[in-house]
């Protein structure tokens, strides 16, 4: 109902008149880490080929430092993930009249429409093709494209080359130094068993089984391997207890961090990555790491949003994609162990020996 009212009151095509800041604003207040990583190449190419266009972003506190220090945006405005209308007014006051706005949510909500109405850009690029205010309509022409490729029509319009689409995760020297202070000397394989929902997460039993299988394959190959288990701090105690109960404490280490640049450097330090469908897949892709990416089967159920594969598969020739079995309950860890072992063997073949 809020969207319907907002469309009726606020959805107007721009007449393109007046003066505009020569800037391109990315609305990222509800962004996730995967979105940020896969779009990073866009910002690199804009900075390289259109330095006349200032980069602006509205983002949350978790990503502010990343946009400021790593991607070096010209203007950053802090926002909550789901701002109320009064907060939208305060954000809009700092972002008046950019030449372009890029907003890549599939369906713009009332707060999105209010922001766009208030800042009065000359052009809006987005995926919500049904709106009048979105004059650079990307949904229809990029329907079958990976999410990282959604802005390509806009870049072409701006005469920005699109041949280098490698994600942009520049090394952070201070973060790298911190990681090396606690990193292990042997071959380290990252394992991320947790996705955004229970349908994209491993059970404790499967976590133990996967680590054991990695170690068993390494032993057969005569390799000294440690597993870097990627998890948030709130899971750390439970995982440490789980590893101890299964005799895996010496083979596995955890180092949760809220610092995104440190997290990137952790993945950079790994020789290979095993991950469920989550942002780690895209970080590993951007860093060119040998990767075993685990996904739910596409189109498994119209009732559960599990089909991330078409828009979110790993864009990497170093990646092996592994699809779970189609089962009732939709679990990403539902698969035959022998089939998974074969995929792990392929991953080991892609990894450097030292």
What pTM was estimated for this model as a whole? Answer: 0.94
| Burial of 251: CB neighbours in 10 Å, binned 0-12, 13-18, 19+ | middle
Residue 168 lies in a domain: no
333/307 same-domain check: yes
pLDDT per position as a tens digit, 241-268: 999 999 999 999 999 999 999 999 999 9
pLDDT per position as a tens digit, 17-72: 889 999 999 999 987 899 999 999 999 999 999 999 999 999 999 999 999 999 99
Q: Which domain holds residue 133?
A: 2-157
Q: What is the pLDDT of residue 2?
A: 87
133/177 same-domain check: no
Q: Is the pLDDT of residue 299 over 80?
A: no
Residue 259 lies in a domain: yes
State which of 128, 157, 186 marks the end of a domain.
Answer: 157
pLDDT per position as a tens digit, 130-156: 999 999 999 999 998 999 999 999 999
Beta bridge partners of 191: 229, 274
* Bigger pLDDT: 156 vs 198: 156
Distance CA 186, CA 223 (A): 9
CATH number of the structural domain spanning residue 43: 3.40.50.2000
22/113 same-domain check: yes
Residue 69 lies in a domain: yes
23/150 same-domain check: yes
Q: What is the pLDDT of residue 16?
A: 85
- Number of domains composing the chain: 2
State which of 122, 157, 192 marks the end of a domain.
Answer: 157
């Amino acid at each position: 109902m809020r969207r319907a009212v907002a469309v009726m009151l606020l959805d107007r095509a721009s007449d393109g008149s007046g003066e505009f800041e020569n800037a391109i604003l990315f609305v990222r207040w509800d962004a996730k880490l995967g979105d940020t990583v896969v779009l990073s190449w866009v910002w690199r190419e804009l900075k390289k080929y259109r330095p006349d266009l200032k980069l602006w972003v509205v983002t949350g506190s978790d990503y502010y430092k990343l946009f400021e220090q790593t991607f070096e945006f010209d203007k950053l405005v802090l926002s909550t993930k789901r701002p109320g209308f009064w907060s939208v007014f305060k954000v809009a006051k700092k972002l008046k009249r950019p030449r372009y706005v890029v907003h890549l949510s599939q369906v713009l909500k009332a707060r999105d429409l209010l922001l766009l109405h208030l800042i009065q850009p000359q052009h809006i690029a987005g995926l919500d093709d049904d709106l009048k205010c979105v004059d650079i309509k990307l949904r229809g022409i990029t329907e079958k494209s990976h999410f990282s490729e959604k802005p390509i029509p806009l870049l072409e319009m701006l005469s920005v080359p699109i041949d280098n689409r490698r994600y942009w995760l520049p090394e952070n020297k201070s973060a790298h130094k911190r990681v090396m202070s606690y990193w292990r000397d042997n071959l380290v394989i990252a394992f991320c068993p947790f996705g955004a929902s229970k349908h994209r997460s491993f059970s404790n039993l499967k976590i133990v089984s996967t680590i054991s299988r990695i170690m068993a394959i390494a032993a057969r190959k005569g390799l000294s391997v440690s597993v870097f288990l990627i998890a948030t701090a709130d899971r750390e105690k439970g995982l440490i207890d789980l590893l101890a109960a299964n005799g895996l404490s010496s083979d596995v280490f955890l180092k949760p961090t809220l610092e995104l640049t440190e997290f990137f450097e952790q993945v950079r330090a790994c020789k290979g990555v095993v991950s469920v469908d989550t942002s780690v897949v895209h970080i590993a892709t951007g860093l060119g790491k040998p990767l075993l990416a685990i996904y739910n089967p596409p189109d498994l159920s119209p009732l559960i949003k599990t089909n991330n594969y078409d828009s979110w598969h790993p864009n990497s020739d170093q990646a092996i994609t592994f699809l779970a079995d189609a089962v009732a309950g939709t679990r990403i860890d539902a698969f035959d162990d022998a089939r998974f072992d074969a995929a792990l063997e392929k991953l080991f073949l892609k990894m450097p020996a030292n």
